[in-house]
Amino acid sequence: MQRVCFELKVRQDGVLEYRQRHRAVWPEMAEALRAAGWHNYSLFLKPDGTLIGYVECEDFARAKAEMAATEVNARWQASVAELFEALEGADPDQAMQPIEEVFHLP
C-alpha cells in the first residue's frame, strides 16, 4: 500500500468556497474514489490556500487514471478547477504530484 501526500494551491478568494464544497462531496464521487482504490483520503486546507492531501492506495498512478476515466470525476474537477491557482492547463486531480516521504513511524 502506498501512502501519498501532495500539495496544491487554492486561490485565496476560493478558500471558503472550497471548504463548503467539500462539506458536501457528492455521494457518487465518494463511491467512485472508493471503487478506484482510494483509502484514508484526507484533505487539509490552510487559511492561505495551501492544500495538503493524503491518500493510501495500491498504485497512485493507476488510482488517478481510474478516477480520470469516470464521468463523475470530470464533473467534479470542472466544478472546482476555478478555485485553484497554477494548474497549468491540468485538472486539479491530474496536477497532484506525490511529495517524497522521508520518514514514517508505523
Whether 22 is a known active-site residue: answer yes
Q: Using the 8-state DSSP alphabet, how is residue 67 labeled?
A: H
The answer to whether the beta carbons of residues 92 and 78 sit under 8 Å apart is no
Q: Of the listed 3, 22, 39, 46, which one is catalytic? A: 22
Residues designated as active site: 22
